[in-house]
Homo-oligomer: A and B are copies of this chain.
């Protein structure tokens, strides 16, 4: 078969590992021909692709980023392309497409599938917010990067008797904040799922210092926000949907804490470091398995599905189920982590 693969959306450690796995399994075990569409859906829609052989994917397991390039989804371009895409792919002799991406990408994948394009999706997000799969590759690396930064900041906070506030990724869900906060023993974790009260945060930190502790570590997801009417952050920015962006609020939070309880506070915004670089072994294995199963699904004709991890097995989930809602941090996970406010 002739299979096209593409990567779309934000960067994520493990993209290259999926591409490599698709090529390896397709070429070696099925005799497939694999082509890579460049720069996300754009490459597919415009028919810009290049052949991918074993040599092209050599050494990719440890390389961050994606050799195919990526781009933000352009919804209008995608929508416009849907009706004629199946025919175009036929014309180009391409039998199936494996898009690797997050919620937006998988939603587009579903639209293409419903219009007759033979698609098998591979879920990708460092945020871990895709329902229907226990976890996605990239998340483990992001948590690892955040936890390492938190470990470093802990020693500094301790030596200088400070509050350190670290803003991690997670605009809509708090998975990275929860896991990196638990891994580093944070004293307060602020999640988008649980609007916080400034007074409660101050109280908790004050109580800690009152017990003789000399520092405090606060992890805040970029999407965390106070309850209505509590306090407001002026982050001077809105996101593409017009919502106020809390991203970047860590500095204001630090200022406010300092003002209210009189203890020096510093903020660090980790930013894109969480999205790049060498994937952890965990993410490389998961990405490799996703790639392998996506090729299998193509050969089994299971279009309109995406790969998913359930327990220790890779299964296939209908795209229609997969992208209906974000996977937020559930109550039982919040209950386990005493640090969540």
| Complex interface: stretch among A75-83, A91-99, A193-201, A285-293 | A285-293
A62 to B278, CA, bound (A): 11
CB-defined contacts of A223 to chain B, threshold 8 Å: none
| Complex interface: stretch among A111-119, A152-160, A227-235, A238-246 | A152-160
Asked if A338 CB lies within 8 Å of chain B CBs, one says yes
CB-based contact A151/B184 at 8 Å: no
Most chain B C-beta atoms within 10 Å of own C-beta, residue among A278, A281, A282, A336: A281
Which secondary structure dominates chain A's binding surface? Answer: helix
Q: How far is the CB of A64 from chain B (nearest CB, A)?
A: 3
| Complex interface: stretch among A101-109, A263-271, A297-305, A318-326 | A263-271
| Given A183-B281, A271-B266, A310-B311, A11 and B336 contact (CB-CB distance below 8 Å) | no
CB-based contact A282/B143 at 8 Å: yes
Residue from B66, B276, B288, B311 in contact with A182 in the complex, judged by beta carbons closer than 8 Å: B288
CB-based contact A272/B156 at 8 Å: yes
A interface residue count range (under 10 / 10 to 19 / 20 to 34 / 35 or more): 35 or more
A214 to B151, CA, bound (A): 27
Asked if A36 CB lies within 8 Å of chain B CBs, one says no
CB-based contact B281/A11 at 8 Å: no
A42 to B274, CA, bound (A): 39
CB-based contact B277/A266 at 8 Å: no
CB-defined contacts of A312 to chain B, threshold 8 Å: 134-135
| Given A134-B312, A312-B134, A151 and B69 contact (CB-CB distance below 8 Å) | no
Which 7 pairs show the lowest CB-CB distances between chains A and B? A152-B277, A64-B155, A65-B155, A65-B159, A156-B276, A152-B276, A183-B281
15 other A-B residue contacts (CB within 8 Å) besides A70-B160, A143-B281, A152-B272: A61-B184, A66-B159, A69-B214, A70-B159, A71-B160, A135-B312, A140-B281, A144-B280, A145-B152, A155-B276, A156-B275, A268-B270, A268-B272, A280-B280, A292-B336
